[in-house]
Amino acid sequence: MRLLFTTIMCIGNFALHAADTNAPVVKVDDKHQMMNYPAGTTPEVYRVRAASSMVLDATGYTFDIPPAIRDKTLNSVQVAQSKTNQFELTWQPGTTRYELSKATLRVRPGSRPFEGFRTGDKMIIAIGVVYEARKFAPVWTSIVEVE
């Protein structure tokens, strides 16, 4: 009986670990872009499963940077789950795939610690430029719902 219990626990822990390594992917594209979309259209919302992490993948995407900040380099990913759950990650030139997780997201001032992406969460993910004392100019923004 103990052997059976131990075996079940090991398999259960392995499945949980395997699930954590299979994070949902949010692929940056125009159909989910919430900024400057054509009149008469509605951008799509990402729908992902609950997970401890997510991958933001901008591979192959060309950002349309507004003239006012065209001289600046993208440098920030912002994740806003609520007014008290806000996080950021530094965007690095040349890198287009980012893990969004407890290990990578920095808690913004006044926010609670990151606890993963839970069923029912609805959040905004934005990529842009932080300048002048923490002002943020988004270049790409979308909504993600966790099912």
The closest alpha carbon to 28, from 100, 108, 103, belongs to 100
pLDDT tens figures, 26-80 = 999 999 999 988 888 889 999 999 999 999 999 999 999 999 999 999 999 999 9
Give the pLDDT confidence of 97-127 residue by residue, as tens digits.
999 999 999 999 999 999 999 999 999 999 9
Given this model, what pLDDT does residue 40 score? 86
Best CATH choice for the domain 23-146 from the list 2.60.40, 2.40.50, 3.40.50, 1.10.10: 2.60.40
pLDDT at 20: 52
Tokens 């940077």 belong to: 65
Do the beta carbons of residue 56 and residue 125 sit within 8 Å? Answer: yes
Q: Quote the pTM value.
A: 0.84
Taking the C-alpha atoms of residue 84 and residue 13, their distance in angstroms, rounded to an integer, is 31
